[in-house]
DNA sequence: GCCCCGGCGTATGTAGAGAC
DNA sequence: GTCTCTACATACGCCGGGGC
C-alpha cells in the first residue's frame, strides 16, 4: 500500500474509531465517554474530529442523547468488523498444529535424519497432519541459511554448531566400532596397535575429509589410524563393512539390526555424540517454531 | 533545549424538554 | 413564561510527544 491510501490511513486515529464504536453502542456522549474512561468534553472533541474525518455530522442531538445519521449507521457493521480484526491482530500469536499448513525445513546429516527426523516426521504427521516437513542435507553455510530463513532448524552436534545461535540439547549417544559379522574383533577387543593398523572407513559428508572424532582421540595418544575409504553417507557404512575387511566407528544407533555387521569394543575412549538443534534468534518466540522444537525434543527423548 | 501541535480536563455556554 | 434538569459544545490552559 502506498501514496494516497497510506495518507488516508495516517489520518485515522484508532481512538477515534473506538469512540465511534462506543457512541454507536451507547447513543449518549456522556455514557460513551464514561465507558471509554474520558470526560464528556473529551469525547465531544473526538466526535468533532470524527465529523471532520467522515465529513458528516454522524450524530444529531435529541432530548435523551444522540441518534446516528445514516452515514454513521452505515459505518457500524464495517467498523465492528475492523475492530474485531484489529483485536485479533494484536492478540498474542497462537499456533494450531491441527490446522497448520506450515512447512518445517530442517537440515541434518543422513544419519541424524534416519535416527531422529524419520521418527519426528511420524510424530509431526500425527500432531499436525496438514503440515509438511522438508529435510535438507547439512549445508556448509549453515548460519547463513538459518539467517535467511531457508532453514527453520538444523540438527547437528554441539562441536559443529555455528557459535552464538540459540540451541537445545536433543540426545547423547556413544560411538561403537563395527566389522563384518564373524570377525575376530567381535569376540575379543582389538589392541590399539591392531585398531590403528586396520583399514578404516570414514564418513565425510562434505566428501574427501580424512579426519573425524576417532582421529582426534588417537592424536591425543600420539597415534594415527589408516583411513582406506571415505564415504559421504553414514548409511553406506554397514553395507561397505559387511562385504570387505574394513572397520568403522559409527554412532551406536546406526548399527540397529544391520545384517552382516557386528559391533566390537573400541580400544580408545571417544567423547559421546551430543546432538543439538540450532536455530536463528528471530524464530525464538515464534509459536510454530517453538512447538516444533518441543516436539523434536520429545521425539529425541523417546528414541 | 526550544517550539509546535494535538489531546485532555475544567469551567462554562447553549439547547431542548418537562414541571410549575 | 420561567425555572430546572439533562446533555452536548466550546474556550482555555496544561501536558506530552515529535521535529528541529
> For A185-232, what is each residue's pLDDT tens digit?
989 999 999 999 999 999 887 655 667 889 889 999 999 999 998 888
Please check the confidence at residue A118 and state whether its pLDDT lies above 70.
Answer: yes
pLDDT tens digit string along A57-90?
788 776 667 777 778 888 888 887 777 777 776 6
pLDDT in the model for residue A206: 64
User: Do the domain assignments include residue A126?
Assistant: yes
Whether A69 sits with its Cβ under 7 A from any strand C atom: the answer reads no
Burial status of residue A237 (CB atoms within 10 A of its CB: 0-12, 13-18, 19 or more): buried
Residue A220 CA to residue A227 CA, distance in Å, equals 17
Compute CA distances A74 → A10, A54, A232, whole Å. Answer: 22, 12, 68
Same domain, A142 and A19: no
DSSP state letter for A92? P
Protein-to-nucleotide distance from the CA of A128 to the C1' of C17, whole angstroms: 47
The answer, yes or no, to whether residue A106 has pLDDT greater than 90, is yes
The residues, any chain, with a CB within 8 Å of residue A37's CB and separated by 6 or more, are none
A107 and A135 part of one domain: yes
- Do A41 and A114 lie in one domain? The reply is no
> Which is more confidently placed, A283 or A108?
A108
Instruction: Give the mean model confidence (pLDDT) for residues A126-145.
Output: 90
Do A74 and A192 have their domain in common?
no
| Domain that residue A261 falls in | 175-271
Instruction: Please identify which residue in the block is written with the cell numbers 465507558.
Output: A35
- Are A169 and A252 spatial neighbours (Cβ–Cβ below 8 Å)? no
Residue A258 shares a structural domain with residue A279:
no
The whole-model pTM stands at 0.65
* Residue A111 and residue A165 in one domain: yes
Q: Span A34-47, mean pLDDT? A: 78
One domain for residues A289 and A249: no
Q: Which residues are within 7 Å of strand B by their Cβ atom?
A: A 13, 15, 38-42, 45-46, 49, 61-63
A119 touches strand C (CB under 7 A): no
For strand C, the positions having any atom within 7 A of a protein Cβ are 6-11
Tell me: do A255 and A283 sit in the same domain. Answer: no
- Reading the block at residue A263, the C-alpha cell is 559391533
Please check whether residues A148 and A208 belong to one and the same domain.
Answer: no
Cβ burial, residue A263 (10 Å; 0-12/13-18/19+)? middle
Domain containing residue A241: CATH number: 3.40.190.10
- A233 in the same domain as A295: no
In a domain, A284, yes or no: yes
The predicted structure's pLDDT at residue A294: 95
* Interval A171-196 mean pLDDT: 92
Which nucleotides of strand B lie under 7 Å from a protein CB? 7-12, 16-18
Span CA (A39) to C1' (C7), Å: 13
Residue ending a domain, among A66, A90, A114, is: A90
Distance A248 CA to B8 C1' (A): 78
Q: Is the CB of residue A177 less than 8 Å from the CB of residue A263?
A: yes
User: Residue A3 — very low, low, confident or very high, per pLDDT cuts 50/70/90?
Assistant: very low
Is residue A142 situated within a structural domain?
yes
Write the CB contacts of A78 (distance below 8 Å, at least 6 apart in sequence): none
Residues 6+ apart with CB under 8 A from A298: A123
Same-domain check for residues A283 and A144: yes
Predicted pLDDT at A281: 83
Q: Which nucleotide is nearest to A60 (CA to C1')?
A: C8
- A186 and A161 part of one domain: no
Q: Assign residue A11 the CATH number of its domain.
A: 1.10.10.10
Last residue of a domain, one of A69, A90, A111: A90
Whether the CB of A128 is less than 7 Å away from nucleic strand C comes out as no
Give the model's pLDDT for residue A91.
67
> How many independent structural domains does chain A possess?
3
Amino acid at each position: 500500500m502506498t501514496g494516497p491510501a497510506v495518507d488516508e490511513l495516517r489520518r485515522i486515529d484508532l481512538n477515534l474509531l473506538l469512540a465511534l464504536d462506543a457512541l454507536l453502542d451507547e447513543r449518549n456522549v456522556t455514557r460513551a465517554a464514561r465507558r471509554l474512561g474520558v470526560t464528556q468534553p473529551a469525547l465531544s472533541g473526538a466526535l468533532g474530529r470524527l465529523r471532520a474525518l467522515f465529513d458528516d455530522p454522524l450524530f444529531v442531538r435529541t432530548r435523551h442523547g444522540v441518534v446516528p445519521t445514516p452515514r454513521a449507521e452505515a459505518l457500524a457493521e464495517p467498523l465492528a468488523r475492523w475492530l474485531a480484526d484489529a483485536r485479533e491482530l494484536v492478540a498474542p500469536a497462537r499456533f494450531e498444529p491441527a490446522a497448520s499448513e506450515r512447512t518445517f525445513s530442517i537440515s541434518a546429516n543422513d544419519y541424524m535424519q534416519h535416527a531422529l527426523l524419520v521418527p519426528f516426521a511420524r510424530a509431526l504427521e500425527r500432531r499436525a497432519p496438514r503440515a509438511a516437513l522438508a529435510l535438507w542435507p547439512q549445508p556448509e553455510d549453515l548460519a547463513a541459511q538459518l539467517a535467511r530463513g531457508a532453514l527453520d532448524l538444523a540438527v547437528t552436534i554441539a562441536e559443529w554448531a555455528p557459535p552464538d545461535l540459540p540451541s537445545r540439547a536433543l540426545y547423547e549417544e556413544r560411538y561403537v566400532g563395527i566389522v563384518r559379522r564373524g570377525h575376530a574383533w567381535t569376540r575379543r577387543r582389538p589392541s590399539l596397535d591392531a585398531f590403528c593398523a586396520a583399514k578404516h572407513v570414514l564418513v565425510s559428508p562434505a566428501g574427501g575429509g580424512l579426519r573425524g572424532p576417532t582421529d582426534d582421540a588417537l592424536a591425543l595418544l600420539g597415534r594415527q589410524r589408516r583411513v582406506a575409504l571415505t564415504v559421504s553417507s553414514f548409511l553406506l557404512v554397514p553395507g561397505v563393512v559387511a562385504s570387505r575387511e574394513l572397520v568403522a566407528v559409527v554412532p551406536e544407533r546406526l548399527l540397529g539390526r544391520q545384517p552382516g555387521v557386528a559391533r566390537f569394543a573400541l580400544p580408545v575412549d571417544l567423547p559421546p555424540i551430543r546432538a543439538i538443534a540450532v536455530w536463528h534468534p528471530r524464530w525464538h518466540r515464534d509459536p510454530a517454531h517453538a512447538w516444533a522444537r518441543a516436539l523434536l525434543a520429545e521425539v529425541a527423548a523417546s528414541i
